[in-house]
Structure 1
Amino acid sequence: MRITVFRSRMNDEFGEVRAELMASTHVFSALGGRTVDQAMEAGMDPKAIWRAVCEAFDVPPERR
């Protein structure tokens, strides 16, 4: 998954403002205690990050 696709899915699921805020402030244990932005900077796979977001926020399977 490309980063642009990841960001698009975040915006579609949560809205642009909430997605940006969540990416910079919400710490995910599944990402090793990192935020989305920190995980991206650390070089984690965007698909793995998206899975962690989906699990944490109960995104329905059809939108994962």
Structure 2
Amino acid sequence: MRITVFRRLMADEFGATRAEMLAKDHVLSGLDGRTVEEALEAGVSAKEIWKQVCTEFEVPAERR
């Protein structure tokens, strides 16, 4: 998954402003205690990050 697709999915699910805030500030346990931005910088795939976001925020399967 491309990062641009990931960012679009985040914005579609949470709204553009909240998606940005979550990416910068919310620590995800499934990403070893990193934020989305930290995980991306560390080289974690956007697909894996999206899976963790969906799990943590209980995104329904049809929108994953």
Would you say same fold, with TM above 0.5? yes
Normalised to the residue count of structure 1, the TM-score between the two structures is: 0.99
Q: Distance in 1 between matches of 2:57 and 2:30?
A: 12
Q: Distance in 2 between matches of 1:24 and 1:4?
A: 16
State the partner residue of 2:27.
27
Stretches of 4+ moved more than 3 A in 1?
Answer: none
Q: What number of residue pairs does the alignment pair up?
A: 64
Deviations 1:25-44 (A, max 9, x none): 00001001000000000000
The RMSD of aligned alpha carbons is 0.3
Q: Which runs of 5+ in 2 are unaligned?
A: none
1:20 deviation in Å?
Answer: 0.1
What is the percentage of aligned positions where both structures have the same residue?
61
State the partner residue of 1:63.
63
Q: Which runs of 5+ in 1 are unaligned?
A: none
